[in-house]
């Protein structure tokens, strides 16, 4: 290392879907490592993607896995839940989810989304695992169910899309907030304002790859290496330096996604 140079920050992508990328896994992971991204959580959305996440985590030491049923897939709760629960109990995973509500697309009926969400909250409690929440256009219902079921002690609102009011509610409830490439978008002022007020110990950074590529990659397929750009945008929103964001979000992710 040249004299006077600083070491490359080390990043933890707290939410991605590597098996969904239209690219070779080894190249994706190599590019992540080259960018300083040496930890990531690969998230399940249904039985097939949860199995793929678990398989990837078993083969790649820098990858952790979750098992979950996305609100888009909640209609399959009856046919998939037993297998998902069995996988969660037997596999070396770090979280349940992503789970929650999505009323923007409403691919699954409201009742099915709520039932799937409650199942996953209860399983996170039982297994003492983190809970990864997806909430889009559904803040009141998301908070209502969490208050009724009780918040798992490690809970993350992934791809946080609310403003300061929603951030305050999440923090007061005891959850953490993870920010995606949206925080880099010019018109995402509410999200940037939320990012500015989340306490240091409740802050995470993610790509949600292959979705939501940050500026300057917007419009491209996202991948874990781009979490560095998300981190830069998050640092700008919080008026701090990139190295601090990398260090504190990594420490938070390591604590939240620690294996039981």
pLDDT in tens, 234-255: 999 999 999 999 999 999 999 9
**3-state percent breakdown (helix, strand, coil) of the chain, nearest 5:** 50, 15, 35
Which of 142, 141, 134, 121 shows the shortest CA–CA distance to 160? 134
What are the residues whose beta carbons fall under 8 Å from the beta carbon of 221, sequence distance 6 or more?
A: 21, 22, 23, 209, 210, 213
Residues 158-181 have pLDDT tens digits of 999 999 999 999 999 999 999 999
pLDDT, one tens digit for every residue, the chain (260 residues)? 455 567 899 999 999 999 999 989 999 999 999 999 999 999 999 999 999 999 999 999 999 999 999 999 999 999 999 999 999 999 999 999 999 999 998 899 999 999 999 999 999 999 999 999 999 999 999 999 999 999 999 999 999 999 999 999 999 999 999 999 999 999 999 999 999 999 999 999 999 999 999 999 999 999 999 999 999 999 999 999 999 999 999 999 999 999 87
User: What tokens appear for 229 in the block?
Assistant: 């750009």
Burial-class residue 69 by CB neighbours within 10 Å (0-12, 13-18, 19+). buried
Distance CA 209, CA 180 (A): 9
Whether residue 205 contacts residue 11, with contact meaning beta carbons closer than 8 Å, is answered with yes
Cβ contacts of 243 within 8 Å, gap of 6 or more: 6, 9
- For residue 165 the two structure tokens come to 């009011």
- The alpha carbon of residue 21 and the mean position of all alpha carbons in its chain are separated, in whole angstroms, by 16
Answer whether 155's CB lies under 8 Å from 131's CB.
Answer: yes
pTM of the model: 0.96
Residue 193 in tokens? 């304002």
Predicted confidence (pLDDT) per residue in 85-94, tens digit:
999 999 999 9
Provide the pLDDT for residue 6: 74
* Widest CA span in the chain: 61
Distance CA 34, CA 206 (A): 17
| Structure tokens that stand for 157 in this block | 């609102």
CB 152 within 8 A of CB 125: yes
- For the 19-256 domain, the top CATH level (class) is alpha beta
Alpha-carbon gap, residue 34 to 196, rounded angstroms: 28
């Amino acid at each position: 290392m040249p004299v006077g140079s600083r070491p490359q920050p080390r990043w933890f992508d707290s939410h991605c879907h590597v098996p969904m990328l239209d690219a070779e896994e080894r190249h994706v992971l190599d590019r992540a490592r080259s960018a300083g991204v040496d930890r990531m959580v690969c998230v399940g959305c249904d039985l097939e993607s949860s199995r793929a996440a678990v398989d990837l985590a078993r083969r790649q030491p820098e990858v952790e896995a979750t098992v979950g049923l996305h609100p888009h897939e909640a209609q399959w709760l009856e046919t998939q839940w037993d297998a998902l629960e069995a996988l969660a109990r037997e596999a070396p995973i770090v979280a349940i989810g992503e789970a929650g509500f999505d009323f923007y697309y409403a691919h699954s009926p409201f009742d099915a989304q709520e039932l799937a969400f409650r199942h996953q909250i209860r399983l996170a409690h039982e297994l003492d695992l983190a809970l990864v929440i997806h909430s889009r256009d559904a803040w009141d219902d998301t908070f209502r169910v969490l208050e009724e079921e009780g918040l798992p002690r490690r809970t993350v609102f992934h791809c946080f899309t609310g403003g300061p009011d929603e951030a305050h509610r999440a923090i007061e409830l005891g959850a953490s907030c993870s920010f995606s490439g949206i925080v880099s978008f010019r018109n995402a002022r509410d999200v940037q304002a939320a990012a500015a007020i989340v306490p240091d110990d409740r802050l995470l950074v993610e790509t949600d790859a292959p979705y939501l590529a940050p500026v300057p990659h917007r419009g491209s397929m996202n991948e874990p290496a781009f979490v560095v750009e998300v981190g830069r945008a998050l640092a700008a929103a919080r008026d701090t330096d990139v190295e601090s964001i990398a260090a504190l979000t990594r420490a938070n992710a390591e604590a939240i996604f620690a294996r039981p």
